[in-house]
Structure 1
């Protein structure tokens, strides 16, 4: 006789009671968190007990038993930040943003957190001076203290933060100048790796020291607007060739001439000098061909004729030059710039005849009030019917006073209402409760709300809804890619505020629930406070101020009430331990008797799959599903919202692909076959078997499958950025330059090499092509679609005699002729893909075969092997294509007619890695697809946050995938 189960239960309950008072979390961290919470009037609902890591306290992330992250944005906390923060010696991320009643001085002890990487306190009410001790945080990457009430000067010690990437002190009450190093103390000139200086809307004063800028700096944003700087702009500004956004506007005491070397800033896109007291000649912007927004209004420049550069800036959307004493006729070509939206030239000396012919269809406003224009000619081409303002010109005094263009508001179409996200209600919308709003998808819920501030957008036409639709789509994609329960995004009422920031209201609606939970808000708010979300390039730098989110049923508890009940909670917990243990043991026993062991469950799954009357691809009779989950039809119907059209993300010969969200929150792509599809039972089973046995970051992951109610469905991880083919053809909106293309083909090569050399047994894909290479959130390549794949077999045979299958254009001619399939067949297909990547041409189109075209055109005596005419124009100038010749050599080796002359995939990977190094295309720390979006073909692509920003700091989130159907 064995030991009685009830004795085991009793002993287990005693042990449980004995350990009930022990905690896994480091006692120092627990003490620190409790000390911090004691200074707050509110705290998250589950902050009780002494084990924050094991009990998964809201907003707390642990590594092992140490607290490494605090993320509590928009929790409505009030009080101060206690010096107990120093106890959290392993803390890496601290985000307490959008708690408007959280204030007081920052404790100097924060400087002891030597592992801190992100310090984010946006939109609180912190006061006093910024602690100089922050300069001791040698690992700090993000420092966001904007929108508080800090006073005093910028501590020179912050110049010691050599790893700092993001530096935001804007919208405070800081005074004094910009500190520079002097041999004994550091200064901001030491921050050569920092890309963002955001110091606007303060009371900073004094001259801008020339030493602060150097050619070693990597600044892309320099925002010094709305301060009290005096003196002149230093000529060293012209050394910042990486600069993309420059704001000196609204510094009324800024004087002197603008440096003549300003046009060295050829990457500059947004240029703001308005409302200063600058003198000398009007700056010459010739050659600054990235400029989209220029505002130099209200300065004291010397009188000048119309500049020649007016019509030479193709990306220009907005030109603001008011009250600058510019004379001469307005160049007709200014109205025809392809991107131009707004021309504000009021209060100058522009004269003669105003001639407008064939204006750009983007042009919405021309303000020429208070000039000296005597006549107006509207050309015979496309008439200009948008707003034209001419009041205060002689033209209006020559019997034209009744002309609509001479009225204060000018000639215009009826004003459009402010933008608001469209509703998708098909019928009469439902009536929501008082604390709920109607989402764009016509669902009543409680959104997370706040205000977005864009500090330098590259456009001025707020009637163009496409900008805001792009913003909504990219933001929703970001949230979904990180597996957050977001149903929809709503934007409303964009306007330009007094500080020349573009403001708009933001609402984020929950998915599958009436309102967000506490952890949801912690995650959603962090995406915005931490700049994890990167907007489309034309919006430029931004910040967000979130509102307090009121959770249902009073889940935010006061610290005092929780303390009063702590003895009762502990007593109940200890006293009930035995009952819990007994119930747990009983449940385990019953479950095991009903369901059997996990192995038995797996066997039943295997048995069910084996019952399919289809041929297996492996040597055993039962397909190997190794971890792939079997879904019922009803489960997949539910997670895709009844296969709704809104979740339809792709269509092919196989059927349709739908986005779905599992109960765990994981995003998936569900590929559903349709009757008469091009993929049969064998391909369906092949993909299940092969994908369930391979696990590699460059191979798409299979989550599960469904073979129920006559349906065949495959469930994959969700990948958001489509296929390589869509990127090359411009359909996905993802712009791939030379370096990004190299990283994509390297990832694909690694995935194929894994299949050939590390999978057991080896796998031949048999359908390598650009539409079977998917791009995830970071533009990492993932090889997909294994319906045609073959195992080489466990006996080590290097070839298989099999019916020829694949895609014409990529198909290995040797395999086609002999029906002998080897791993070199995949190498050939990959070689074709390499050529497709640099030409952006279909491999086979109208009888033209890209392999033959390249082979026939190659001339190794010439630059780029003489292939200029064949290369994709989007790759740019030849000088930027380092390693191209070696790349072409590799591609041509891969498409040799004889398989034995082709390199193995392992060698291909090594060669591409060598080319990547030559091109300086080593993967950036955290590049996202949004950094690569190109929305306007006529505008020089600009990336406000760069292609090498620090890691996402998302604190998790699943990798993503969108599956390309056949």
Structure 2
């Protein structure tokens, strides 16, 4: 072929490829660089347009790549520096690719918008780059199970938004970094809940500065390192802690008494160290379920009676700790106790193990190599392994034949879950090699691996259903092609380590997974963070995947289309046809560019104002602001004008030229999902008008900018008032009025809006208080209009806030008005207790249900009522308010009242408290003191008649 023609054709086809691509040039070039670093590129990474939907693991927004998720894709090679050019990247997950090796590029620090970095189970080496501290938006950092070496970068302390830090199972060494002057450290990670630093080579002392009262940590895992020195007493300042693991180090000195302050700790593991001094009294740690202080050099002491105070104790491990004396009978009366290992001590006297009163929960009592002289077995011990070998009792004549004196006694407890049966009709083997019968007896190629619990737990049979349901719920929530899961081979490591559980995930509707399905499943499993009830049963969980080679759709053949083939095909075509195509594409691109230009100048172009089209926003009274206008009203969005922030973005205060105060909610990340929520909130707020709903003043909709402009509500959120942050004190009567205002706003949405609206995110953070402390419902980003009045529910993806979610909606995905009623019930509990819905692992609804005693004053809830209410004063209608609250929290939605019923009930309660409030009952912030002293009280004009819900402009409802 003539060389000139060949060059021309290549130019034409390259232009065509670039013309139809939607991916930004810089991102496309960066992906090309990544592929050059991979010895084996991902299947389907071919073609000109990564954002076109055909490239596995790539997600985009406005032609920019925002997510790369490629776990378990058998990738090999290195991560190239080109990753740093993906400036819009928010999520990067390359987990379970053991072939990925070499250092993590320094340019990883250029990903300023990265919020999640997951590289679990790869083979990265060299030190973690210090530039990782530049990722200011990072929330999730998981580098566990690699071969990283060197020191932990102190710059990680700059990650002020970090919640999850996992560096477990690497080769990291040196001290734990803490701040010093201008140098950052891990002690500055105030939002972090997880420090997972175990199974490394960290050395030196645990710095006392690492722990302080501002930290929100719930897990501190420093196990199996080379740490020395004392356990710092400052550990006792981190009151939210639930799991502490310092085992497998060289820690010395006494255990600090401050540990008894950690009353939320559920697992405490200090075994295999060099601790000395007296054994600490931990009897106040009532939530402990796993205690292991084995193999330390404590001073000889009488057997502690405080063990018997640990009412939730499941496992007690005190091997080789110099315990003396007789074990009190009360220890074996603990209702949850399963495993007791007290071997290699100096325990003597008579052993009495009572199984009958305990419901036979006990599985193992190991007292080998002690000095017990007599054993009095009780009823109900048939399934309990008792080991008394090398005690005085077993040296007596004729005792060697006793089961508890036998050398054949198992050193480990028999696992009650070692054999998980399959249905009886399942085939033993499948016809195809490597296929396995699923729990539904369908032969398939499952995705397999090991599920590991980071904490030391005994896994009773009944927890498997919870774990299975939790996994399947997550798979269904993300619409993943999973039919079922199965577990096998649970094992507990001899040296303290996680409980390992084989996991098989079976495909739905096919014999194997395709690349996309497997990638999505692996991505979910690499970021396990379940909120089971109770959460301490499981988390955190790690998944270690095996290679998968049975893809349903193998796309290797797609890579065979080479440039030579393209040229060959081109030669057979007509040059005129090519040029015609080029002209057509050019015209198409010009048209698209013109449309985009129009859209930039006219944000309403895609929002037709034809009111017959219900799919587009019906804007009634909402004003369109330009970016320049809002920039002016907020002093260029200055820091001084910031008045709040949330998941959506920051909120700024401003003043309109007419003097009206406004609050501007500015989206931090403009995306399709944000755009949908933005559109929904504009539509709803421009159509609903009620004194107990926040009013929409206007909005700004421009390229890369989405802002909502509300009326300014001066006294902040109800959450801030209840926590004391705002300085406003709400007495009991004021709380009743707040509840009434919020209920009226919800009742309006449910009954008088057209169509009715379900809010879906009722919580104390979305209830604002105006200058007179009237409640206003806000934040309609998740709200759902309900046009079909003939149905009792709508099926929709579950959204909302944990702790407030209706459990019926959560499990069935059936959304009803009663879902808002349940959330409102949780809000009422907040008004009573000022506690968060889920606080320190405990659900307030369960706590109150357990504590209620209707035979006592205030239903026996004195210890839960917020002291700021004033318990020394009369609380009128308190019991009625509690009754109404619990009715709203009924498990079945059909048993809950409507919001109109709730309004009537609270109105009745306030009438009993008196139709006019006195100044003494309206304690507010300092700014209201002068008003309350005057003759006209700011709340005295508000009535409590049943028509109050209709007191504002309403829209006639259809339903």
TM bin (shorter chain): 0.5 to 0.7
SS of 1:298 mapped into structure 2 = coil
Which has the higher mean CA deviation after the structures are superposed, 534-543 or 306-315? 534-543
For the residue of structure 2 that corresponds to 1:271, the secondary structure is: strand
Offset of residue 147 of structure 1: 0.3
- Give the structure 2 partner of residue 320 of structure 1: 317
- The question of whether the paired residues in 2 share the 8 Å contact of 1:747 and 1:782 is answered with no
Instruction: Name the structure 1 match of 2:751.
Output: 756
Q: Can you list the C-alpha shifts for 1:205-248, whole angstroms capped at 9, x where unaligned? A: 01111111111111111000000001111111111111110000
Partner Cα distance (1:124, 1:827) in 2? 44
- 2:490 maps to 1:494: yes
Q: 2:254 touches 2:278 (CA, 8 Å); kept in 1?
A: yes
Cα offset, 1:549, TM superposition: 2.2
1:748 and 1:782 in contact (8 A); partners too = no
Cα distance in 1 for partners of 2:146, 2:824 equals: 56
Question: What is aligned with 1:474?
Answer: 470
Q: 1:165, CA displacement in angstroms?
A: 0.7
1:197 aligns with 2:195: yes
Aligned residue for 1:194, secondary structure, equals: coil
Following superposition, the deviation at residue 197 of structure 1 comes to 0.6
Is 1:184 aligned to 2:179, yes or no? no
Q: Determine the structure 2 residue equivalent to 1:901.
A: 946
Show the counterpart of 2:851: none
User: How far has the Cα of 1:275 moved from its partner?
Assistant: 0.5
3-state DSSP class of the match of 1:353?
Answer: strand
Give the structure-1-normalised TM-score.
0.63
Per-residue CA deviations over 1:142-180 (Å, capped at 9, x if unaligned) read 111110001101111111111111001110001101011
Q: Which moved more, 1:422-431 or 1:773-782?
A: 773-782
Contact 1:209-1:234 within 8 A present in 2 as well: yes
Structure 1 distance, partners of 2:826, 2:789, is 13
8 A Cα contact 1:138 1:160, kept in partner: yes
Residue from 246, 267, 270 that aligns with 1:270 = 267
Residues 769 and 830, structure 1, Cα contact 8 Å, conserved in 2: no
Match status 1:260 vs 2:257:
yes
Provide the secondary structure at the position in 1 that maps to 2:286: coil
Aligned equivalents of 2:563, 2:797: Cα separation in 1: 55
Q: 1:31 to 1:170 in 2, by over 3 A?
A: same
Q: How far apart are 1:547 and its partner, in Å?
A: 2.0
Go from structure 1 to structure 2 and tell me whether the alpha carbon gap of 1:576 and 1:542 turns closer, same or farther (over 3 Å shift). Answer: farther
Confirm or deny: 8 A CA contact 2:195 2:219 kept in the other structure: yes
Which runs of no fewer than 5 residues in structure 2 stay unpaired? 1-11, 585-611, 616-678, 685-721, 724-735, 758-785, 810-815, 833-843, 847-853, 860-864, 887-900, 912-942, 955-959
Q: Measure how far apart 1:282 and its partner are.
A: 1.0
SS of residue matched to 2:510: coil
Tell me by how many angstroms 1:294 deviates. 0.3
1:458-483 CA-partner distances (Å, limit 9, x unpaired): x42x4x32122221111111111221
Task: Determine the C-alpha separation between the residues in 2 that align with 1:502 and 1:892.
Answer: 50
1: CA distance, partners of 2:40 / 2:137: 31
CA offsets per residue over residues 732-783 of structure 1, 9 Å max, x none? xxxxxx99xx999999987753343432599999999999999768556589
CA distance in 2, matches of 1:540, 1:33: 35
CA 1:35/1:828 → structure 2, altered by over 3 Å: closer, same or farther?
closer
Contact 1:99–1:124 (CA under 8 A) maintained in structure 2: yes
Residue deviations 1:305-350, cap 9 Å, x none? Answer: 0112110011110000001111111111111111111011111111
Cα distance 1:566–1:907, how it changes in 2: closer, same or farther (>3 A)? Answer: farther
Q: 2:107 aligns with which of 106, 109, 116?
A: 109
Q: Do structure 1's residue 352 and structure 2's residue 349 form an aligned pair?
A: yes
Separation in structure 2 between the aligned mates of residue 774 and residue 373 of structure 1, nearest angstrom:
60
* SS at structure 1 position matched to 2:52: coil
2:729 alignment partner in structure 1 = none
Q: Which runs of 5 or more residues in structure 1 are unaligned?
A: 1-13, 586-623, 628-693, 700-737, 786-805, 811-825, 842-848, 876-886, 910-966
Report the Cα offset of residue 424 of structure 1: 3.8
Q: Distance in 1 between matches of 2:791 and 2:743?
A: 9
For residues 56-106 of structure 1, what are the alpha-carbon distances to aligned partners after superposition, in whole Å with 9 as ceiling and x for unaligned?
411001011000000000000000000011110111111100000101011
- State the Cα distance separating 1:517 from its structure 2 match: 1.6
- Any conservation in 2 of the 1:450–1:544 contact (CA below 8 Å)? yes
Shift of the 401–784 alpha-carbon distance from structure 1 to 2, 3 Å rule, reads closer
- The 1-side partners of 2:328 and 2:512 are apart by 56
For residues 418 and 288 of structure 2, the distance between their equivalents in structure 1, rounded to whole angstroms, comes to: 26
After TM superposition, give the deviation of residue 566 of structure 1 in Å. 7.3
Q: Do the aligned partners of 1:356 and 1:384 also contact (CA within 8 Å) in 2?
A: no
Distance verdict in 2 for CA 1:443–1:356, change over 3 Å = same
Rounded to whole Å, the distance in 1 between the matches of 2:823 and 2:142 is: 45
Preserved contact between residue 530 and residue 539 of structure 2 (Cα < 8 Å): no
1:369 aligns to what? 368
Structure 2 Cα separation of the partners of residues 425 and 300 of structure 1 = 52
* Distance apart, 1:419 and its partner CA: 3.4
Cα deviation 1:677-698 (Å, max 9, x = unaligned): xxxxxxxxxxxxxxxxx99999
Q: Deviations over 1:367-414 (max 9, x none)?
A: 1111111111124x5455411111111111123111111113449999
**Aligned residues of 1:205 and 1:229 also touching (Cα < 8 A):** yes
Cα distance change of structure 1 residues 300 and 235 upon mapping to structure 2, 3 Å threshold: same
Deviations 1:190-213 (A, max 9, x none): 112111110000011011111111
Partner Cα distance (1:232, 1:255) in 2: 5
- Counting only pairs closer than 5 Å after superposition, residues 701-850 of structure 1 correspond to structure 2 as 753-760=748-755, 778=801
Partner of 2:279: 282
Return 194-203 or 426-435, whichever deviates more: 426-435
User: Which residue of the partner structure matches residue 394 of structure 1?
Assistant: 392
1 CA distance for matches of 2:299 and 2:173? 31
Q: Is residue 192–residue 217 contact of structure 1 (8 Å, CA) maintained in 2?
A: yes
* Residue range with higher mean Cα deviation, 32-41 or 775-784: 775-784
Q: Retained in 2: the 8 A contact 1:44–1:555? A: no
In 1, Cα distance between equivalents of 2:750 and 2:103: 57
Post-superposition offset of 1:41: 2.3
Query: 1:96-495 residue pairs with structure 2 within 5 A?
Result: 96-251=94-249, 253-357=250-354, 358-360=356-358, 361-379=360-378, 382-383=380-381, 385-398=383-396, 399-410=398-409, 418-424=417-423, 426=425, 431-457=430-456, 459-460=457-458, 462=459, 464-495=460-491
Task: Assess, with a 3 A threshold, how the Cα gap between structure 1 residues 764 and 123 changes in structure 2: closer, same or farther.
Answer: closer
Contact 2:44/2:558 (CA < 8 Å) preserved in 1? no
> What secondary structure, in the 3-state scheme, does the structure 2 residue paired with 1:241 have?
coil
User: Aligned runs of 1:798-947 on 2, under 5 Å?
Assistant: 862=873, 865=876, 867=878, 871=882, 891-893=905-907, 901=946, 903-904=948-949
Q: 1:442 to 1:209 in 2, by over 3 A?
A: same
Q: 1:193 to 1:258 in 2, by over 3 A?
A: same
Point out which structure has higher relative CO (alpha carbons under 8 A, 6+ apart): 1
Note closer, same or farther for the CA distance 1:840–1:893 as it changes in structure 2 (3 Å cut).
farther
Q: 1:320 to 1:412 in 2, by over 3 A?
A: closer
CA distance in structure 2 between the partners assigned to 1:287 and 1:499 by the alignment? 25
SS in structure 1 at match of 2:751: helix
Assess, with a 3 A threshold, how the Cα gap between structure 1 residues 103 and 248 changes in structure 2: closer, same or farther.
same
1:442-591 matches, cutoff 5 A: 442-457=441-456, 459-460=457-458, 462=459, 464-497=460-493, 498-534=495-531, 536-552=535-551, 555=554, 557=556, 567=566, 571=570
Asked whether the 8 Å contact 2:103–2:125 carries over to 1, the reply is: yes
The DSSP-based 3-state class of the residue aligned with 2:263 is coil
How many Å separate the matches in 2 of 1:901 and 1:182? 62
Looking at structure 2, the residues matched to 431 and 905 of structure 1 have their Cα atoms a distance apart, in angstroms, of 67
Question: TM-score of the superposition, structure 2-length normalised?
Answer: 0.63
What is the aligned counterpart of 1:64 among 58, 62, 66? 62
Distance 1:409 1:572 in 2: 81
